[in-house]
Structure 1
Amino acid sequence: MQTDTQTQTDVVPFIDYFYKWEREKADQVYLRQPIGDSYVDYTWAGVGQQARRMATYLQSLGLPTGSHIGLISKNCPHWIIADIAILMSGYVSVPFYPTLTADQLNALLGHSQCAVLFVGKVDDWGTMKAGVPDDVVSINFPGYQTDPTLRSWDEIMANFPPIVESPKADLDELFTIIYTSGTTGMPKGVMIDYRAAAQLAINVRPMTFQELPNARFFSYLPLCHVAERTIVEAMGMITGGTVYFAESLETFAKNLAAARPTHFLAVPRIWMKFQQGVLAKLSEQRLNLLLRIPVVSSLLKRRIRQSLGLNDAVLILTGAAPTPISLIRWFRRLGIRIQENYGMTENLASVCMMPADQIKDGTVGRINPGMSVKIDAITGEILTKSGWIMRGYYRNPDLTAETLIADNWLRTGDIGELDSEGYLRITGRLKDVYKSSKGEFIAPAVLEAGFSDNPFIEQICVTGRELPQPIALIVLSETTPKVAQKEVEKSLIDTVNAINDRVHPYERIRKIVILKKAWTVENNLITPTLKIKRNEIEAQFNPFMTSWYDCAETIVWEDAG
C-alpha cells in the first residue's frame, strides 16, 4: 500500500518566513536566552539587524555564491542568527555537532569544503580548534569564546552595515547540508534544497504548525539535528513564535518550566528521565491510588504538567528512537499526550505522525499528506517518496545511487509494516539484523522492544553475532541502586522469560549482562541524540562476549574494571 496526498499552494523559500515576521513583529521577542534567573531577549528586528550585518561581512569575503559555511555550537540565539545570516548572504549552512573531536571536525570540514566556520558554545574549544584548517575563517559567538584567533562577532556588528537586498533564493538551489549523527561510521552529508524545505512546510503545516498567538518553543536537542531544526527552528520561524533556550544541563528543568512551550519535542530517554523524576517524588503505588480519586486526580495531573512545563503544550512529540508503548501510556494517564513522529534526515524527519485524536499504539503514526510509502516485498524495507526527499549525499554518488533508487524512492533502511489505514509500524533495522553462529537471522530491535516495560533498564543493546543465542547488554536506570539486587535480577529474568516465550527458539535471549558504566556521548557509545551506537558497543564488549555467555548464571554483572 502507499499513500500520496499532495496539497497545492505557493512554494516560498524558507527565509521568506523570517522576512515576514521581521516586518510584522519587529519589536516582539523572537529568541530568549536564560542567564541565571534573567533573560537576554532578541526581537525579530534585532535578530534581523545582526543577521544582516553578518551577511554583509560574509559577502565581503568574496566567496562564490553557494559556498559552504559551518556552524559548531550548542543551542543558543546566535546559532539561529548565524543560520539566518548564511541564508541571507546566499550561502549554504553546514551545521556540526558540538561534541566532535578535533580529528572528527577536521574530517567533516574537509569533506564539506567549508570556507567559514561559526564557533560558539562548545566545552573544549582549546582542543577542538586543532581540527580547523588554517584557510578556514573562524568567527566566534559573543560571550562564549575568547580565542583571539577567532574573528569577533561584536567587531563585525560594529563595522559592517546591514545588507539591504539579499539574493533571491532559487528553490532548486542547495539550502543546507545536514550531517547524520554517525551511528554506523562516517557521518553522511545529506543535501537538502530550498524546494524540499518549502514543500515540507506546506504539506505538514496543517498537522503540526498550529497557529497560536503566543507559540513558544524550547530548544535543547542539537540544532544541527534534523528534528530540532525542523520542529523548533523551522516551526518557530514559520509561525512567528518565540524560541526559548536551555542554559545548561543543570538548569534544564527550571528553564523548561519557565518556557512553558506550546510545542515540545523529546527523545525517549528524556521522557524516561521525566518519569523517573516524577516517581522519585511519588511512588507508582501512591500515584495510582491518587489518580483513582476524581478531584485529586485532576489537581495532581495539572501539578505534574506544570512542574514539567508542559501545561500549555498543544503538540508534544517523541522521535529519533523507539519509545516504549508503556511509557507513552503512562504519560497519557497524566494528561500528557505524546505523539510519535517518524522520519530520518534524508526525508526531513517527516514520514508520519501519530494523530492526536486517532491514536494507534504500537505504530509510529499515520503517513503525512504528500508522503508516499511502500514496503519492499522481499526485504520488508520501508521506502518513501515525497517533495521533501534529499537531493543526495554530498560527494558520495555511489551511496546516493544505493539509497535513492528508481523513480526517486528513498530506501530508509528500516523494516516495517503499513496497515490499511495508513499507519506505519517499525519492526527493525536492516543493518542491525545479523546471523548467529547457528546461521539464523536475529533482529535486535524486536527483542529490545520486549524490555521496554522494565523500569530498571535505562539502556539496552541485544547482540551476539558470534554466539549461538543472543545476549542483552544492559545499563540500569539511576534509581535501580536503591533496590535490592535480588529484586532487580528477578524482574529482569521475568522479562526475559516473557520475551523468550513468544519468539522463535533461535531468538531466545540466553544471558543478560549488567554493565557498570552508562553509555554516553563522551565515551562514544551513543549519539548526541541519544541513539545507541551498536557497532561501537559491540566492538568494545566483543572480547568479553564468550566468557559472559559461558557463565552458569542468567544474570551476569560486569566485573570491576
Structure 2
Amino acid sequence: MSDTQTLIENRPPSVATLFIDRVAATPDGEAYRYPVPSATGQGADEWKSLSWAQAAERVYAIAAGLIGLGVEPEERVALSSATRVEWILADLGVMCAGAATTTIYPSTNAEESSFILADSESRVLIAEDAGQLAKARERRGDLPNLAHVVVIDPDGVEPDAADPEGWVLSLADLEARGADLLAKNPGAVKERVEAITAEQLATLIYTSGTTGRPKGVRLPHDNWSYMAKATVATGLITKDDVQYLWLPLAHVFGKVLTSGQIEVGHVTAVDGRIDKIIENLPVVQPTYMAAVPRIFEKVYNGVASKARAGGGAKYKIFQWAAGVAREHAKVSQDNFRRTGTASVPFGLGAKHKVADALVFAKIREAFGGRLRACVSGSAALAPDIGYFFAGAGIHILEGYGLTESSAASFVNPGEAYRTGTVGKPLPGTEVRIADDGEIMLRGPGIMQGYHRQPEKTAEVLEADGWLHSGDIGELSVDGYLRITDRKKDLIKTSGGKYVAPAEVEGQFKAVCPFVSNILVHGADRNYCTALIALDEPTILGWAAENGLEGRPYAEVVASPKTVELIDGYVKRLNGGLQRWQTIKQFRLLPRDLDVEHGELTPSLKLKRPVVEREYKGLIDEMYVGAREV
C-alpha cells in the first residue's frame, strides 16, 4: 500500500477529530488572520490573528454552548453569514458538538431561507447580523423547530416583543454559556467528538437550483475527513502556505478549503468582502488562493482596460505581451508534457523576459508578490485567459467537483498542470465516462443523498455508488479530464448540429475584454445567437474616450458605437468557430446579470433558464423571419 493510500484509508472519522489533533500538535501556531475595521471607519483595516489554541478555546465554547441549548448529535444548526472568521469557528463548533451545519447564503431571501430552515429542521440559526435575524423573524410562524437564533454581530438588533423568551442571543452570550458548561464538565465537547461516526451527518448544503426548490445535499463527516487528507496528498498545500480565503463558505468550494488547512496547519486569512480583494492581496501576500473564473476575467479585463486608457502605445505593448504570455504558456506546458521540463526556445524566452519586466511583474505584484498558485473552480475558465495568467507567472490550477462530491474531485497537479483541463482525480476518487459522454464519479467524497428526497437521490446516485455528474467530458490517456459542457445545456440546432455553449462563451470572454457575462442560445433554432452583458467599469472607461462620457450604462450599451465595437469581437470569435457554432446575431443587455436578480448563483454560475425567460423578447427578436443559414 502506498503512503498516499495509507494516509487516506487511515483517516479519522471527522474533521472535529482532525481539529483536536491539529490544536494538540501546534497550539501556538498561527491559524487564522482576520480584518478589524479601524475605530473611525477611516483608513486601512487592522489584521489580527488567532493561534490554534485560541481558535480552539472559542470553538469548544461554541460547541458547549450549543450542547447547553439542547442540540443533539446530527441535529441541524443553520449558518447564515458572509465569509468571516466567525463562520469557520461556528462551523467547527457545530461539528465538535456532533451536530450538522446547514449552510445558507446571506443573500438568500426570506422565503427561501425559511424553506431551508424548515426542510432541514434546523434547531438553531447562527445569523450574521440584524438583517439575517429579520428574515427569521419574518417567517417565525413557519419554523416550529427553530428554538434559538444566535447573532454574530448584535449591533442594531432591537428587542421584539413577539420573540419567545431566550429566542435571540449573541454569539458572545453563547460562548459565555459554553465556557460555564465546560467549567463544570470539562469533557463535554471531547465526549461528543469521540462519539462521532464517519457516516454521521456533518453538513447539509442546499444547491441553488435554476428551477424549483433547492435540494439539500447530505455530506457526512467522512466526506470532509477524506477531503482533508486527499487535498494534502496532492501536494497542493503545505504547512508553510498562507491562504487568502474570500469565497462564500456557504458554497461547497469554500467549505472544502477549511478542511485541508486543518490537516496541514497553515495560515488562512479570512475576509469575504469581494470589494476588498484588490486592497487585501498586497497586505495578506498569500501563497495560494482559490477563486471562480469571473474574478480572473475581471482582473484580465481590468489590466487590458488600464493599458488601453494609457494610450495606443501602451495598449500595443499589452497586446504583444499577452500574445507572448499565451505562446510561452502553451509551449512550456507542451514541453513539460513531452519531456518533463517546461523549456521554451531561446527567442521566446527572451521576448518573455522583456514582457515580464514591462507587464507581468506588475500583475504578480498586484496579487501580493508571493502567489505560488491559484485554484479555480465552480465554472469553466476560458483557456486563453488561463494561458495568459500562466505566462504571466500566475499559475491557475483548474479543479472540478460538485456539491454532491464535496467540491473537489479533480485538480491540476502542480507543475504538471494543463490549462484547459481540470486535472486528475484526487487520490481515492474513481472516474469513468459513460457512453453518452457523461462524467461518472465514485469515492469517499460522494454524498449520502438528497435530504428527504429518495426519488431525486436515485436519479443521480447508482446503487453501486456511481454518481451521475450531469457534465460531459473527455479523459486523456494519462488521466486529465476536460469538461465539455453541462449535459442539460448542450444545444442541438434544428439542423441537427450539437453546440457546447460554455465553450463558445469561454472563447468570447478570451477575445472581448469588455464582456462580463454571455449566454449563447440556439436549441431547436436555425442558428446560434447571444445575449451579452458588458463589464460596467470597463465599458464606461471606453465610453469616456469615445464621445459617450457621462452617459449611464444602459445608454452606453444602447449606443450604435458600442454595438459596432462588440460586433467586431463577435466577428473575431466567429472566425475561429465551426459554421454551426457561429453567433449570427446578438443583443447587449441593459444591465449586467447578477445574484440579486436571480440570474447568477451565489458562486456566479449562469442560470440559463432564468436569463432566457427574463429576456425571451430579445431572443425571439433575433429569430424573427429566421431562415436556414
TM-score in terms of structure 2 length: 0.80
Deviates more, 1:20-29 or 1:77-86: 20-29
Deviates more, 1:237-246 or 1:526-535: 237-246
Deviates more, 1:519-528 or 1:132-141: 132-141
Counterpart of 1:528 in structure 2 is 602
How many residues end up aligned between the 2 structures?
542
Question: In the TM superposition, what whole-angstrom CA distance separates every residue of 1:234-281 from its partner, at most 9, and x where no partner exists?
Answer: 122222122212263332211222111222111111001112332343
Question: Is the CA contact (8 Å cut-off) linking 2:62 and 2:90 kept in structure 1?
Answer: yes
Change in Cα spacing, 1:43 to 1:396, as seen in structure 2 (3 Å) is same
Counting only pairs closer than 5 Å after superposition, residues 146-295 of structure 1 correspond to structure 2 as 146-148=157-159, 150-161=168-179, 162=182, 164=187, 165-167=190-192, 168=194, 169-213=196-240, 215-231=241-257, 233-246=258-271, 248-283=273-308, 284-287=315-318, 292=351, 294=353
Is 2:515 aligned against 1:457? Answer: yes
Question: In the TM superposition, what whole-angstrom CA distance separates every residue of 1:194-246 from its partner, at most 9, and x where no partner exists?
Answer: 22222233333221452233x22222111011111112x11222221222122
Deviates more, 1:515-524 or 1:144-153: 144-153
Is 2:28 aligned against 1:7? Answer: no
Question: In the TM superposition, what whole-angstrom CA distance separates every residue of 1:294-343 from its partner, at most 9, and x where no partner exists?
Answer: 3672475333212222x222331111111011101111121111111011
SS at match of 1:384: strand
Is 2:365 aligned against 1:306? Answer: yes
Change in Cα spacing, 1:341 to 1:247, as seen in structure 2 (3 Å) is closer
- Tell me the CA shift for residue 354 of structure 1: 1.7
Change in Cα spacing, 1:209 to 1:544, as seen in structure 2 (3 Å) is closer
- Tell me the CA shift for residue 50 of structure 1: 1.7
Counterpart of 1:338 in structure 2 is 396
SS at match of 1:510: strand
What is the alpha-carbon distance in structure 1 between the residues aligned to residue 319 and residue 525 of structure 2?
42
Counterpart of 1:87 in structure 2 is 95
SS at match of 1:21: helix
Change in Cα spacing, 1:129 to 1:25, as seen in structure 2 (3 Å) is farther
What is the alpha-carbon distance in structure 2 between the residues aligned to residue 23 and residue 515 of structure 1?
55
1:67 to 71, 75, 96: 75
Change in Cα spacing, 1:246 to 1:551, as seen in structure 2 (3 Å) is farther
Change in Cα spacing, 1:367 to 1:89, as seen in structure 2 (3 Å) is closer
Question: Is the CA contact (8 Å cut-off) linking 2:297 and 2:509 kept in structure 1?
Answer: no
What is the alpha-carbon distance in structure 1 between the residues aligned to residue 218 and residue 59 of structure 2?
23
Question: Is the CA contact (8 Å cut-off) linking 1:120 and 1:144 kept in structure 2?
Answer: no
Counterpart of 1:113 in structure 2 is 121
- Tell me the CA shift for residue 288 of structure 1: 5.2
> Where in structure 2 are there 5+ consecutive unaligned residues?
38-44, 309-314, 325-350, 544-560
Question: Is the CA contact (8 Å cut-off) linking 1:102 and 1:127 kept in structure 2?
Answer: yes
Change in Cα spacing, 1:441 to 1:184, as seen in structure 2 (3 Å) is farther
What is the alpha-carbon distance in structure 1 between the residues aligned to residue 503 and residue 319 of structure 2?
29
SS at match of 2:464: helix
Deviates more, 1:421-430 or 1:184-193: 184-193
Change in Cα spacing, 1:249 to 1:445, as seen in structure 2 (3 Å) is closer
Question: In the TM superposition, what whole-angstrom CA distance separates every residue of 1:460-515 from its partner, at most 9, and x where no partner exists?
Answer: 11124464323111112231341653651442331353255x144xx543311111
TM-score in terms of structure 1 length: 0.89
Question: Is the CA contact (8 Å cut-off) linking 1:35 and 1:247 kept in structure 2?
Answer: no
Counting only pairs closer than 5 Å after superposition, residues 92-103 of structure 1 correspond to structure 2 as 92-103=100-111
SS at match of 1:550: coil
Change in Cα spacing, 1:54 to 1:127, as seen in structure 2 (3 Å) is closer
Indicate the structure with greater helix content: 2
Question: Is the CA contact (8 Å cut-off) linking 1:436 and 1:467 kept in structure 2?
Answer: yes
Change in Cα spacing, 1:270 to 1:546, as seen in structure 2 (3 Å) is same
Change in Cα spacing, 1:54 to 1:280, as seen in structure 2 (3 Å) is same
- Tell me the CA shift for residue 398 of structure 1: 0.6
**Counterpart residue type for residue 574 of structure 2:** N
Counterpart of 2:533 in structure 1 is 475
What is the alpha-carbon distance in structure 2 between the residues aligned to residue 122 and residue 461 of structure 1?
37
Measured on the aligned residues, the alpha-carbon RMSD in Å equals 2.6
What is the alpha-carbon distance in structure 2 between the residues aligned to residue 441 and residue 307 of structure 1?
41
SS at match of 1:114: coil
- Tell me the CA shift for residue 95 of structure 1: 1.0
Question: Is the CA contact (8 Å cut-off) linking 2:106 and 2:132 kept in structure 1?
Answer: no
Is 2:437 aligned against 1:380? Answer: yes
Question: In the TM superposition, what whole-angstrom CA distance separates every residue of 1:19-43 from its partner, at most 9, and x where no partner exists?
Answer: 1232333344322221232124333
**Counterpart residue type for residue 222 of structure 1:** P
**Counterpart residue type for residue 146 of structure 1:** V
What is the alpha-carbon distance in structure 1 between the residues aligned to residue 360 and residue 583 of structure 2?
38
Runs of 4+ residues deviating >6 angstroms: none
**Counterpart residue type for residue 107 of structure 1:** F
Question: Is the CA contact (8 Å cut-off) linking 2:401 and 2:407 kept in structure 1?
Answer: yes
> Where in structure 1 are there 5+ consecutive unaligned residues?
553-561
SS at match of 2:600: coil
Question: In the TM superposition, what whole-angstrom CA distance separates every residue of 1:58-110 from its partner, at most 9, and x where no partner exists?
Answer: 11223332111110000111111111111111111111111110000011111
Counting only pairs closer than 5 Å after superposition, residues 319-468 of structure 1 correspond to structure 2 as 319-377=377-435, 379-436=436-493, 442-454=499-511, 455-465=513-523, 467-468=525-526
Change in Cα spacing, 1:535 to 1:122, as seen in structure 2 (3 Å) is farther
- Tell me the CA shift for residue 442 of structure 1: 4.7
Change in Cα spacing, 1:105 to 1:115, as seen in structure 2 (3 Å) is same
Counterpart of 2:571 in structure 1 is 494
Change in Cα spacing, 1:121 to 1:255, as seen in structure 2 (3 Å) is farther
- Tell me the CA shift for residue 413 of structure 1: 0.2
Counterpart of 1:511 in structure 2 is 585
What is the alpha-carbon distance in structure 2 between the residues aligned to residue 409 and residue 145 of structure 1?
49
SS at match of 2:508: coil
Question: Is the CA contact (8 Å cut-off) linking 2:236 and 2:413 kept in structure 1?
Answer: no
Question: Is the CA contact (8 Å cut-off) linking 2:231 and 2:260 kept in structure 1?
Answer: no
Counterpart of 2:26 in structure 1 is 25
Change in Cα spacing, 1:460 to 1:51, as seen in structure 2 (3 Å) is same
Change in Cα spacing, 1:247 to 1:540, as seen in structure 2 (3 Å) is closer
Question: In the TM superposition, what whole-angstrom CA distance separates every residue of 1:346-395 from its partner, at most 9, and x where no partner exists?
Answer: 11222222223223333221233222111111x21111111211111111
Q: Computing the radius of gyration over CA atoms, which structure comes out larger, 1 or 2?
A: 2
Question: Is the CA contact (8 Å cut-off) linking 1:447 and 1:499 kept in structure 2?
Answer: no
What is the alpha-carbon distance in structure 1 between the residues aligned to residue 424 and residue 25 of structure 2?
35
